[in-house]
A and B are shown apart, each in its own frame.
Chain A
Amino acid sequence: MTLAATIAQDLTAAAFVALGAAIAYQWYRERGRAQSKLALALISLGVVAAIGRLQGPGRPSAVVTAFTLVLFVASGYFVLLFRDELIPLSRTARRAANVLLVASIAVAVLDAAVFANGDPLVVLALQLELVTAWAVFTGEPIARFWIASAQLPAVQKIRLRFLSFGFGVLILLLFVAVLGGAALRTPAAILVTQLFALAVVPAIYVSFAPPPLLRRIWRMSEENAVRAAMQDLLIFSPSREVLAERAAFWAARLVGATSGFIVDADGNVIASSGIERERAADLAANRVRLQDGAGDIVRVPLHLSDGRGYLAIVGGPYTPVFGSEEVAQLKAYASSVSAGLERARVTERIAAIEKNKSQFLNLASHELRGPITVLRGYVSMLEGGLLGQLNERGRKAAAVMAAKVSEMNELIEEMIESARLEEGGLTVRPVDSDLRDITREAAEMVSPLLDDEHPFVLDLPERRVWVKVDPERTKTIVANLLSNAIKYSPQGGQITCQVRSRAGIAKVAVTDHGLGISREDMVTLFTRFGRVITPETEHLKGTGLGLFLGRQLARLQGGDITVASVPGEGSTFTLQLPARGALETSPLAPPGESRGVDEDEALSEADAI
């Protein structure tokens, strides 16, 4: 048992010496990094352990004892200095710590002098002072670290907690050793305390220099959040700047750094996280260098369309060494960042172009309304004979002018409407309406266009078809579909307009036997100014806005316009609108009628398109 205790003591001392050596080596490799104070603390502890064990049971030299005790006090003080770098101490606290340090060094020297043959009580008191001073130097920082780590990225957090844990156990062991007295001199007690002390060594080591594998494992807790952030980059984009800021934040978080920033191809800092924009700009321009004690900077290139920018990650005092693992992660992340930023740029540019276009359309349209008013007014007065009687040729000319001015006017109205639509300023004012009435009125509107070659069949159900829509706009949609049907069947052919309601959807289907639309042309059909130009249609007039507006208006009202067509045989355009629910009773609907809207469907299923 005694042998075991001795071996345990030797083992612990050896472990602390090894810890000090390993840390000295790590520190040497990463010179200039932040953890110098912590390294000094741990190396000091290792030296203390080595001397303590090597002195052996014989009568120790007072000088060596004094040196060991001072080094022990210093190791605690170094931990406090390390804390000061991470979380600066107040001036008072620093002064108090210095006083405690000087006092403790004096005590250490005194202790060494009286250790061999002094009053045991005095020795105990002196030792208690030393241990207390050490506990104060290390205890305050580790408590602070534990609290502060809650806000930090996973890797930093776990590292700080390991450090706190390690030093916490050491404080406990020291008090137990000093106060335990004879009770702790038994081999069993020694064995237990040594085992505890031994457990501290790996905790402190991984806290100081966590191996890549551990870093990866610790990061896993954040993987999901990082992955979500990555997805955000690719899908969601408020604006390029906000996107870049989020990217910088998550890039820093990803590798446990404190801050990050993004520089575009021109060298401008477009976003920063955890660091002020000006300071990031200074760092980017190499105007300043990081202060001693701060971590290093890793730059990962971003391939942007206008050149090469980069994502910079600034390590904090307790950021782990950036290894190949972190750099690989950052590179993978950087490609997402590049893609996200590019997408945001394109989206923003498109939005700007769209806005310009809308504003131009809007302005141009309003400016055109003035002259049109005068032209239209005078032409109507000419036609009406108010400006004197015209002869036959004059009347014909006036009629042509009136038609052309009308044409221009309608074009302007369409342009205003579509500009308004783009701006979101277009509103519909829905009221309960019978879709049959709307369709009937629309058919009346286009009746002047019909001729013998275009027989027209209006197929309405017997019961009302209740929809909640803007009647004027809906009428315009249907009238537009009807006029298109006539216009695009120049060879004639029957035009059918059928109204049905089924399963909560009210439909107006307009069928012609005209030119039809090829599959390729369907794509452009509903786009703004997207007219289908073929040899058969090029002589037909139109702005290409009708179907675009029609569909947009239908969608504004919760519906849509769909098309089915066979080139050379004809087309069917169907306006769909949400039918008012059968259970919803409308004040306009006579009792018993509002629920019957679907019943006609049984009759018409056979000839449904």
Chain B
Amino acid sequence: MRDVATLRLGWFPDPSWITGYGGLEQPDLPFRLQAREGPPLHVLMIEDDPAIAEMYRLQLEHDGHRVSVATTGELGVSTMSGSAPDVILLDLLLPDRSGFEVLALLNERYPNHPPVVILSNYGEPSMIDKGMSLGAVEYLVKSRVTPAEISGQIPVWVERGRRGRKADS
């Protein structure tokens, strides 16, 4: 499956607004609104913007996932000592520290931490490279993906993380 990020067409104008009548059709996304099977997945969202956190929570819970939100990096890391989530959605711009620092801290304290997906408003190649080199399973620019697209990818990321860990051990 192609990465979600590349499904958006970059700066190419969206056909829908050129013709003025588009947008009625849903984009054809293979993972969208699929009935999910299997046990509910636990998603930890480290995100300080309540509007975004709430929006993602709505979608994720609708799709049957369980969601915890940590509004700072510190809180996010401390959550890990309790019940470990299945996947972590990590913002980069946090009030106390950068998402990269959080990820580095996770790598250090919890070498077997669940897959981390970086969700940021920054899309610079250098930042993407940095995120991926720190071990994130995905780096997404928030404005390029819809909550449904993220929700649909959750099982994929969990699986990817599981395989990664298996390969490590």
Question: Does the CB pair B19–A448 fall under 8 Å?
Answer: yes
Known contacts A381-B147, A386-B58; decide if A549 and B11 are in contact (CB<8 Å): yes
Interface check A472, CB cutoff 8 A: yes
In the assembled complex, the CB of B85 is this many whole angstroms from the nearest CB of chain A, namely 21
Q: B15, B33, B52: which contacts A448 (Cβ < 8 A)? A: B15
Known contacts A381-B148, A427-B125; decide if A406 and B143 are in contact (CB<8 Å): no
Question: Does the CB pair A417–B10 fall under 8 Å?
Answer: yes
Q: How far is the CA of A384 from the CA of B62 in the complex (A)?
A: 12
Interface check B40, CB cutoff 8 A: no
Q: Which of A152-160, A294-302, A370-378 contacts its partner?
A: A370-378
Known contacts A420-B124, A427-B125, A448-B15; decide if A400 and B10 are in contact (CB<8 Å): no
Interface check B107, CB cutoff 8 A: no
Q: Which of A122-130, A224-232, A539-547 contacts its partner?
A: A539-547
Q: A366, A381, A409, A417: which contacts B122 (Cβ < 8 A)? A: A366
A residues near B141, Cβ cutoff 8 Å: 369
Interface check B59, CB cutoff 8 A: yes
Q: Which of B22-30, B70-78, B159-167 contacts its partner?
A: B22-30
Q: A387, A410, A487, A546: which contacts B14 (Cβ < 8 A)? A: A410
Question: Does the CB pair A373–B17 fall under 8 Å?
Answer: no
8 A Cβ contacts from B48-62 to A: 49, 51-52, 55-56, 58-59, 62
Question: Does the CB pair A407–B17 fall under 8 Å?
Answer: yes
Interface check B35, CB cutoff 8 A: no
Q: How far is the CA of A89 from the CA of B147 in the complex (A)?
A: 84
In the assembled complex, the CB of A37 is this many whole angstroms from the nearest CB of chain B, namely 66
Question: Does the CB pair B16–A403 fall under 8 Å?
Answer: yes
In the assembled complex, the CB of A454 is this many whole angstroms from the nearest CB of chain B, namely 11
Interface check A413, CB cutoff 8 A: yes
Interface check A233, CB cutoff 8 A: no
Interface check B66, CB cutoff 8 A: no
In the assembled complex, the CB of B60 is this many whole angstroms from the nearest CB of chain A, namely 11
Known contacts A403-B23, A427-B125; decide if A373 and B52 are in contact (CB<8 Å): yes
Interface check B95, CB cutoff 8 A: no
Q: How far is the CA of A542 from the CA of B32 in the complex (A)?
A: 30
Question: Does the CB pair A487–B17 fall under 8 Å?
Answer: no
8 A Cβ contacts from A467-489 to B: 472-473, 476, 479-480, 483, 486-487
Q: How far is the CA of A554 from the CA of B115 in the complex (A)?
A: 37
Number of chain B residues whose Cβ lies closer than 8 Å to a Cβ of chain A: 40
- B56: nearest chain-A partner, CB-CB: A377
Known contacts A369-B143, A410-B12, A414-B11; decide if A386 and B59 are in contact (CB<8 Å): yes
Question: Does the CB pair A546–B13 fall under 8 Å?
Answer: yes
Interface check B123, CB cutoff 8 A: yes
Question: Does the CB pair A483–B18 fall under 8 Å?
Answer: yes
Question: Does the CB pair A369–B11 fall under 8 Å?
Answer: no
B residues near A407, Cβ cutoff 8 Å: 13-14, 17
In the assembled complex, the CB of B82 is this many whole angstroms from the nearest CB of chain A, namely 28
Interface check A111, CB cutoff 8 A: no
Interface check A359, CB cutoff 8 A: no
Question: Does the CB pair A476–B17 fall under 8 Å?
Answer: no
In the assembled complex, the CB of B84 is this many whole angstroms from the nearest CB of chain A, namely 27
Interface string of B86-121 (1 = CB under 8 A from A): 000000000000000000000000000000000001
B residues near A483, Cβ cutoff 8 Å: 12-13, 15, 18
Question: Does the CB pair B11–A406 fall under 8 Å?
Answer: no
Question: Does the CB pair A372–B143 fall under 8 Å?
Answer: yes
Question: Does the CB pair A386–B18 fall under 8 Å?
Answer: no
B residues near A402, Cβ cutoff 8 Å: 16, 23
Interface string of A433-476 (1 = CB under 8 A from B): 00000000000011011000000000000000000000011001
Interface check B81, CB cutoff 8 A: no
Known contacts A369-B141, A376-B143, A402-B23; decide if A542 and B12 are in contact (CB<8 Å): no
Q: A366, A425, A449: which contacts B15 (Cβ < 8 A)? A: A449
- A427: nearest chain-B partner, CB-CB: B125
Question: Does the CB pair B148–A449 fall under 8 Å?
Answer: no
Q: How far is the CA of A378 from the CA of B143 in the complex (A)?
A: 12
Question: Does the CB pair A384–B11 fall under 8 Å?
Answer: no
Question: Does the CB pair A410–B13 fall under 8 Å?
Answer: yes
Question: Does the CB pair A380–B17 fall under 8 Å?
Answer: no
- A420: nearest chain-B partner, CB-CB: B124
Q: How far is the CA of A445 from the CA of B26 in the complex (A)?
A: 15
Interface check B65, CB cutoff 8 A: no
Interface check B6, CB cutoff 8 A: yes
Considering the complex of A and B, which 10 residue pairs feature the smallest CB-CB distances, nearest first?
A: A403-B23, A380-B146, A407-B17, A369-B121, A414-B11, A373-B142, A406-B14, A369-B143, A448-B15, A413-B11
Q: List 14 A-B contacts (CB under 8 A).
A: A369-B143, A373-B52, A376-B146, A377-B55, A381-B148, A406-B17, A406-B23, A410-B9, A410-B14, A410-B17, A425-B124, A425-B125, A449-B19, A549-B11
Binding site for B on A (CB under 8 A): 366, 369-370, 372-374, 376-378, 380-381, 383-384, 386-387, 399-400, 402-404, 406-407, 409-410, 412-414, 416-417, 420, 425, 427, 445-446, 448-449, 472-473, 476, 479-480, 483, 486-487, 541-542, 545-546, 549
Besides A377-B59, A425-B125, A542-B13, 8 other A-B contacts (C-beta < 8 A) = A366-B122, A377-B52, A377-B56, A378-B55, A384-B148, A417-B11, A445-B12, A549-B11
